[in-house]
Structure 1
Amino acid sequence: MKKYVFKRILQAIPMLFVISIISFALMNLAPGNPAHAFITPKMSAAQVTRIKESLGLNDPIPIRYVKWLKNSMQGNLGFSYITHEPVIKEIAARLPTTLGLMGVTMLISVIISIPLGMISALKKNRKTDNIITGISYVGISIPSFWFAMLIVILFSSKLKILPASGMRSIGVDSTWDLIKHSIMPCTVLCFPNVAVLTRYIRSSALDQLNEDYVITALSKGLSTRAVLYRHVLKNSILPLITILGMSLPELVSGAFITETIFGWPGMGRFGVEAIFNRDYPVIMAITMISSSLLILGNLISDILYGIVDPRIRVVDK
């Protein structure tokens, strides 16, 4: 297992290298220039040149990339063009809030989707199954930004029972206040995630119900519910591990939209602000950190797959 993990980490290095090249090229080839935010009509050509030089924008793109790569490998992600603070400090202050939001979302999604998927499989083609399936299709299809604005209007503007934005109320430092602020962002991230996981669990459970071991257990007198939760459940959640790893990109991209709409002070909102401000060092740092999290999530999924099912073991080669 150790050799396998080490091999996967080595494989991730060239992948991150390619991602960095593509991201850096697209960012610098896009229309606009970060220096425009600091240039006024009354500035002379010499002043404009000095501004570009201070931002490191006078060098050709390949040279700028090499400089960025060299500094990044030394742990120096540069300084934000807007806040003038070290990028790593800015991200360190926001990363825990995003990871916390994503972690809670993932946990709630798993807790809700497993029973829903199993119930849907047990009640196949019945009213309960049709209701769960219908809600799942809505969750898969509904745009996150539209759903977010809808619940803000309903629960904040109309009913006035939940705060519309932010992570905490001014002057309030309580757990309940944090929970109230996180309900709507978590709901927006959970809804499509639960819908997808529920469908996968239902499909997997239905496949397992047709296996010989289920027929044998039923013939021995075990109830359908007992077979479902003692035997089918364990085999049905195996694909869930892989799906959770695959769902990380959606959570990361969803965090950009959700955090922006709800004013959640995390990496997603920070990244959107950096894009609009053309804050190149911040954009690159968030891109690479997000890519690393996705690769790490897939690696953890592979490891957990082998731990949960003893029949599946990673062979060290």
Structure 2
Amino acid sequence: MARYVLRRLVVSAFVLLGISAAVFFMLHLVSESPGRVVLGQRASPEAVAAFNREHGFDRSVITQYLAYLGQLLRLDLGRSYKLNEDVATLLAQYAGRSAMLSLAGLVVALAVAIPLGILQAVRRNSLVDRATTAVSYVLYATPSFLLGLLLIAIFSQALGLFPAEASQSHSPWVVFTDPWAMALPVTTLAAGSITVFAQYQRSSALDQLGQDYIRVARAKGLPERLILLRHLLRNACLPLITLVGTLVPTLLAGNLIVESLFNYPGLGLLFLNSLHREDYPVLLAYTLIGGVLTVAGNFVADLLVAAADRRIELRK
């Protein structure tokens, strides 16, 4: 197990290195001179050149990237051009709220999708299965921003049940302290994942229902509920663990839409505001966070699957 973990850590380190290089060079190609961004369009060319020299932006791209790697090793994400604050400080202010929003959306999605997928598998080709599959495809094809607008129009404006704007509290626990105001954002974020999880769970459960251990359990006369909970559920959820790890960046991308739509003060809204301001250190740091979460999600998912099924470690 230790060798497996070490191998995965080495691979993850190289993947993160590649992500940091790709994002850094792409942002360098599309961005203006940092001096022009900071000093404004009315600044003289001499002032812009002096600013770039002072901060090392006149050096080659490779040299700037190596310097940036050195900053990352010191856990220094740079300084915001526009807000004049350390990027790490800015991210720390907003990360908790975004993390809790993503976690709430993930928990709701799994809580709905797992039993729904197993129900579809047990009642395969029934009216319930066909109707649920049809609804899932419709939800999957609906963009998150459109779904959010529909929820606002129906449950906020028409019925007046929930507020149209998310809670403006700066507490990371706002999902629990003000659930009424967070109901629509969490639902919007979870809806897309529910459809993917449910269909994936359905396919996995169908595969497990055809295995010998299910037939043996039924031949022993065990109650169907006991078979589903004790035997089917654990094995059918193993592939879902890996899927959850790969969908972590999807939740992060979903936060961009949800936080913008519901004016929720999180990392997604910070990213969009930084994009409008051309604040590239913040954009670079946010993208790197997405890469880290992607790699970490896959790494943790592989460890959990390997711990649940020892045969996987042997195959790898």
> What is the TM-score normalised by the length of structure 2?
0.90
The question of whether the paired residues in 1 share the 8 Å contact of 2:38 and 2:81 is answered with: no
In structure 1, distance between residues paired with 2:169 and 2:17: 41
Q: Which one is further off, 115-124 or 24-33?
A: 24-33
Aligned equivalent of 1:259: 259
The question of whether the paired residues in 2 share the 8 Å contact of 1:256 and 1:268 is answered with: yes
The question of whether the paired residues in 2 share the 8 Å contact of 1:113 and 1:195 is answered with: yes
Aligned equivalent of 1:39: 40
Aligned equivalent of 1:167: 167
Do structure 1's residue 111 and structure 2's residue 102 form an aligned pair?
no
SS at match of 1:312: helix
Moved over 6 A (4+): 173-176
> What amino acid sits opposite 1:269 in the alignment?
L
The question of whether the paired residues in 1 share the 8 Å contact of 2:166 and 2:264 is answered with: yes
Instruction: Report how far residue 63 of structure 1 moved.
Output: 2.2
1:217-256 to structure 2, matched below 5 A, reads 217-256=217-256
Aligned equivalent of 2:213: 213
After superposition, the C-alpha distances for 1:160-199 in whole angstroms (9 at most, x for unaligned) are 33222243369xx987662123211211111111111111
Change (3 A) 1:50 1:14: same
Aligned equivalent of 2:306: 306
Identity rate, percent: 32
After superposition, the C-alpha distances for 1:1-33 in whole angstroms (9 at most, x for unaligned) are 233223212221121111111101111111544
> What amino acid sits opposite 1:10 in the alignment?
V
Do structure 1's residue 178 and structure 2's residue 178 form an aligned pair?
yes
After superposition, the C-alpha distances for 1:259-299 in whole angstroms (9 at most, x for unaligned) are 12112211122122222222121111111122111111111
1:153-164 to structure 2, matched below 5 A, reads 153-164=153-164
The question of whether the paired residues in 2 share the 8 Å contact of 1:24 and 1:65 is answered with: yes
> What amino acid sits opposite 1:76 in the alignment?
D
In structure 1, distance between residues paired with 2:236 and 2:64: 49
The question of whether the paired residues in 1 share the 8 Å contact of 2:94 and 2:267 is answered with: yes
Aligned equivalent of 2:269: 269
In structure 2, distance between residues paired with 1:196 and 1:139: 10
In structure 1, distance between residues paired with 2:258 and 2:162: 16
Instruction: Report how far residue 84 of structure 1 moved.
Output: 0.3
**What is the root-mean-square deviation in Å for CA atoms of aligned residues?**
2.4
The question of whether the paired residues in 1 share the 8 Å contact of 2:100 and 2:175 is answered with: no
The question of whether the paired residues in 2 share the 8 Å contact of 1:109 and 1:193 is answered with: yes
User: What residue ranges of structure 2 are gaps of 5+ in the alignment?
Assistant: none
In structure 2, distance between residues paired with 1:174 and 1:286: 22
SS at match of 2:311: coil
> What amino acid sits opposite 1:38 in the alignment?
L
User: What residue ranges of structure 1 are gaps of 5+ in the alignment?
Assistant: none
> What amino acid sits opposite 2:278 in the alignment?
R
Change (3 A) 1:166 1:52: farther
Instruction: Report how far residue 130 of structure 1 moved.
Output: 1.5
